[in-house]
Amino acid sequence: MNQQNYDIHRHLVEACMAGNRKAYNDLYSAYSRAMYNLCLRMMNNAEDARDMLQEGFIEAFNRLDSFRFESAFGAWLKRIVVNKCINALEKRRIVFVDEEVPDPLPQDETPDEEELRLSVERVKQAMNQLPQGARMIFSLYLIEGYDHTEIAEILKISESTSKTQFMRARQMVKDILHGMPAS
């Protein structure tokens, strides 16, 4: 990425570092919706998502002096919010099963037309039915764009556990979607 992309909210971050209260509000407004949606996908509960959003922003604002403009502010904030959610979920003792399972789809198989017509809303509904650990990995990998190495590091699990949980989650989502009435 070029440096210009990193500077999109630089003026707001610098104003916050200088103590400008309006800049804090503007920065919050710029990122709160996206970060709330991230929290909601991970926590699967609106109240918990609001709590994690608030805690994430509090930590980010308290640590602004450590932000070095080496990445986009949004990416830095996202990492803080993801870690807040993971820490909260770890307190609930999410267990990740560490065992290898074969990928249920052959590499040369392509999705059929039915899978391609699935609406985003139906996929979200199916995701919400996943167990917490599977939903978290599914969301981090498929929606947030983390790779399995990053997920393993964040969740303190093995890379193979991340891959296995993702494959299981993917299969569960497919099974749930096939059981849903067509919209």
Q: Stretch 37-53: mean pLDDT, rounded?
A: 92
Confidence of residue 2 (pLDDT cuts 50, 70, 90): very low
- Examine the domain organization and report whether 87 and 122 are in the same domain: no
Total number of domains in the chain = 2
- Characterize 15-30 residue by residue with b for buried, 16 or more Cβ atoms within 10 angstroms of its Cβ, and e for exposed: bbeeeeeebbebbbee
Task: Report whether 132 contacts 94 (CB < 8 A).
Answer: yes
* Model pLDDT for residues 64-105, shown as the tens digit of each residue: 999 988 888 999 999 999 999 988 887 776 555 554 444 444
On whether both 85 and 138 belong to a single domain, the answer is no
CATH number for the domain spanning 74: value is 1.10.1740.10
- Does the residue 134 lie in any domain? yes
Q: Which residue, chain included where needed, has tokens 């393993």? A: 152
Domain hosting 152: range is: 113-179
- What band does 150 get if pLDDT is binned at 50, 70 and 90? confident
What's the pLDDT tens digit per position in 22-40? 999 999 999 999 999 999 9
Question: Which pLDDT belongs to residue 96?
Answer: 55
The answer on 81 and 8 residing in a single domain is yes
The predicted structure's pLDDT at residue 142: 82
In a domain, 103, yes or no: no
Q: Is residue 140 part of a domain?
A: yes
- The burial class, CB within 10 Å (0-12 / 13-18 / 19+), for 6 is middle
* pLDDT beyond 50 at 41: yes
CATH of the domain at 158: 1.10.10.10
pTM beyond 0.85 = no
